Amino acid sequence: MHLSLNNFKSSKFIKLSKAEILNLVEEVLKTVEYKFTKNHQLNLSFVSSEEMKLLNKTYRNEDKPTNVLSFEMPENFPVGDEKTLIGEIALCEEIIYEESKKYKKIFENRLKHMIIHGLLHLIGFDHVNKYEGNKMESVEKKIMKSISAGDPY
């Protein structure tokens, strides 16, 4: 599995390493039994609240920033060097940091939850109705527990 991190070094709050994030991604994929190989790629982009607002307005018609957005790729989308791109997750660390304070969560755990949440969206989970939302929350809780990151809710 290849992980690309964009704007990762400029982070103010993030104490996780690329290896820790990659381990988290692989844990999510294993938990939901997603078949991945060393040739799969995932892009994580850390964006400002202004950038996130623009992305949210452009792709969801919501004129406000949000914590995480997921961008799916067509199945088996080639990215060169025989890699297959799963998709891209945009994360707004400013909003995630504020949410961690609001919900009384450790920032790194809130960030892990948002990475999990975004990745689950990429591989087919959603929360458009109560049934699907409960199913997604259950998987998020299971993963957070397995990595000793507490209850995300």
Paired tokens of 142: 């299971």
- The answer to whether residue 19 scores a pLDDT higher than 80 is yes
pLDDT band at 7 (very low <50, low <70, confident <90, very high): confident
Model confidence at 10: pLDDT above 80: no
* Phi, psi of 26, deg, nearest 5: -65, -35
Strand order across the 2-6 sheet: 2-6, 40-46, 84-91, 68-78
pLDDT at 37: 84
Q: Is 4 helix (H, G, I), strand (E, B) or coil?
A: strand
Over 58-101, what HEC string results?
HHHCCCCCCCEEEEEEEEEEECCCCCEEEEEEEECHHHHHHHHH
Q: Which helix (H) or strand (E) holds 111?
A: helix 107-122
Tell me the average pLDDT across 69-89: 77
Count other Cβ atoms within 10 Å, centred on residue 41: 22
Q: What confidence score (pLDDT) does residue 36 get?
A: 86
| Nearest by Cα to 87 from 44, 54, 134 | 44
For residues 22-42, give the mean pLDDT. Answer: 91
Can you give the pLDDT at residue 120? 96
Neighbours of 110 (CB within 10 A): 26
Label residue 77 by pLDDT band (50, 70, 90). Answer: low
Burial class of 59 by CB neighbour count within 10 A (0 to 12, 13 to 18, 19+): exposed
Task: Tell me what pLDDT residue 6 has.
Answer: 87
CA distance 14 to 9: 9
pLDDT band at 93 (very low <50, low <70, confident <90, very high): very high
Q: How many residues does the chain have?
A: 153
pLDDT score at 100: 96
Whole-number mean pLDDT of the chain?
Answer: 90
Q: Quick one: tokens of 15?
A: 């104490």
* Mean pLDDT calculated for residue range 39-64: 94
Greater confidence (16 vs 100) lies with: 100
What pLDDT is attached to residue 79? 62
Residue 80, pLDDT above cutoff 90? no
